Chains A and B, each alone.
Chain A
């Protein structure tokens, strides 16, 4: 079994606001194994960024961690002081941000921006750190790095800047790389290049990746496992195949249905809007938007039901007493494919 490097358990985070407490993260648990890529997907506002910021100890001032633990190897990140976190950030856990146009300091040479983590964490001298910065610039595919290392961010295109941000994140060879929607702000062709680069570097640097996105489309080629988040909770998680071809939660169905594929021309957006997290609903938070909601969904929160050893979903539809429902056609098509795939596998086995 792979080494477990991160284990988040029952995480609960509130934000104090004038209107009251926003319950942004509600009992979230997940884990990350060495070398794997975990995708966290969900609509805007579902709590993806808050989750990752808590891993870095970078939560906003008005945030309060109400409960839970974040075990990084054998240490709880939530119990660490700011000073201790400074020694982890950028060295063991690094991060790539969404908008490369704004995430680099406009007044500092990119060489120095890449060298900074080395000077801080590896206590390198400037000269040595710049030499290493040059190496990583080559690695992320910047052409003519000897010249460009002396340039400023505004002299680079968006895609190039994101490569530099990746270089900054990877320069200390972190054990965990968090990428919070790293391609959302980029053109589709550039997106593909950046994703390829990340995969390539992952194998070279042997880092584990937490990949945040609201776009299931980019997940398929990137991730080993997927966690689906809704309204501050994880509602389903499993391997990529399990989530794409055997989804169980109506919210996951909705996400897949709203994703363009080759076979489906009809895109269906999920109707309605996510609930107000100041006062989250009592039962299944998705019930109000779900065509499959049952009476119990508004009354009682569903626990996780096991689908396979790696696949769990929090929906009452999986309860033995629940009536059998037929998912949307696209999902049925996928589930049939999945059945075929598993049959093939068991034949081979």
Chain B
């Protein structure tokens, strides 16, 4: 088991290194420069600026310098926010995004599991149809439309929750719902398909022959087996949500990282682009490892070597 983990960690680092390298060079290929008003700048000014940010050095040297910094946890300095270190920029904003993403994911997956199970248990009845229609709507309505509707009806008309801004938990409720509907619909669809399959299997028949109640059969046997295909979906989805959603953060004025990232791309803010990409990739490789571990917990047949037989 330990050997296995060490091997996995090595591959994770290798992956991150490759991502850093590829992103770095791709980024250099992007058109434009980091300066917003280049037309008004004299060649001298540009030269000074380039020197200041190290952009006058050959690309391979810039790359080595960047890698070197990264090893020490230094992600460079943002171009758009004068002299703010990228690591500070990220750490001050990732909190809100991560909280929102995690909440949205928990909400979406839990409600999705319930709705999907309901649909599967009542297969081919109106309940099933209703659940399917709901999840299609949830999947096809863009989340900013839902966000605006929630703001208007729940926040403005009913006044149950704040319209926007970032404060206590109550501020997170509406954006959580808006952001969580996507994973909710996806989860419901996955669970329904999986559980319909599982419910027609022999071991469910045997569970019925034991005299278990309907609820007992679903809860103790069907659910766990239907969760297996969902595991692969949840991990990457969570990372994607936790690293920020530009639209939702914009609509609810949440000081998250999603908006930051998009801005950094349009302004060629190289260090910020790199920083956020690396964060996202790191999240992803960690989550993939976690997924494999969770997979083994849920499905004993693929338990990691050294832990099973």
Task: Report which A residues bind B (CB closer than 8 A).
Answer: 56, 58, 85-91, 94-95, 97, 99, 102-108, 116-117, 120-121, 151-152, 154-155, 165, 168-169
Contact A99 B202 (CB under 8 A): yes
A95 to B203, CA, bound (A): 12
Contact of B211 among A87, A106, A151 (CB under 8 A): A87
Contact B210 A89 (CB under 8 A): yes
Find chain B residues with CB under 8 A from A107 CB.
224-225, 228, 298-300
- B309 contacts partner chain A, Cβ-Cβ < 8 Å: yes
Find chain B residues with CB under 8 A from A99 CB.
202
Q: Which 4 A-B pairs have the closest CB atoms?
A: A90-B211, A89-B211, A90-B210, A152-B300
Which of chain B's residues has its CB closest to A112's CB?
B220
Contact of A165 among B206, B208, B299 (CB under 8 A): B206
Which of chain B's residues has its CB closest to A95's CB?
B209
Given contacts A104-B206, A168-B206, contact A116 B212 (CB under 8 A): yes
Q: Is the interface of B mostly helix, strand, loop or mixed?
A: helix
Task: Report which B residues bind A (CB closer than 8 A).
Answer: 201-203, 205-213, 216, 220-221, 224-225, 228, 298-301, 308-309
Contact B299 A106 (CB under 8 A): yes
Contact B201 A102 (CB under 8 A): yes
Find chain A residues with CB under 8 A from B225 CB.
105-107
Which of chain B's residues has its CB closest to A169's CB?
B209
Contact of A154 among B221, B298, B301 (CB under 8 A): B301
Given contacts A99-B202, A116-B220, A152-B301, contact A105 B207 (CB under 8 A): yes
Q: List 22 A–B pairs whose Cβ atoms lie within 8 Å, in order of A's numbering.
A: A85-B211, A89-B208, A89-B211, A90-B211, A102-B203, A103-B202, A103-B205, A104-B203, A105-B207, A106-B299, A106-B300, A107-B224, A107-B228, A107-B298, A107-B299, A117-B211, A120-B211, A152-B300, A154-B301, A155-B308, A155-B309, A165-B206
* Whole-angstrom distance between the Cβ of A48 and the nearest chain B Cβ: 16
A120 to B301, CA, bound (A): 27
A155 to B201, CA, bound (A): 19
Find chain B residues with CB under 8 A from A91 CB.
211
A165 to B202, CA, bound (A): 12
A88 to B211, CA, bound (A): 7
Contact A58 B207 (CB under 8 A): no
Find chain A residues with CB under 8 A from B309 CB.
151, 155
* Whole-angstrom distance between the Cβ of A287 and the nearest chain B Cβ: 35
Find chain A residues with CB under 8 A from B202 CB.
97, 99, 102-103
Highest count of chain B CB atoms <10 Å: which of A90, A94, A99: A90
Contact A86 B212 (CB under 8 A): yes
Find chain B residues with CB under 8 A from A56 CB.
209
A89 to B298, CA, bound (A): 28
Contact B208 A58 (CB under 8 A): yes
Find chain A residues with CB under 8 A from B201 CB.
102
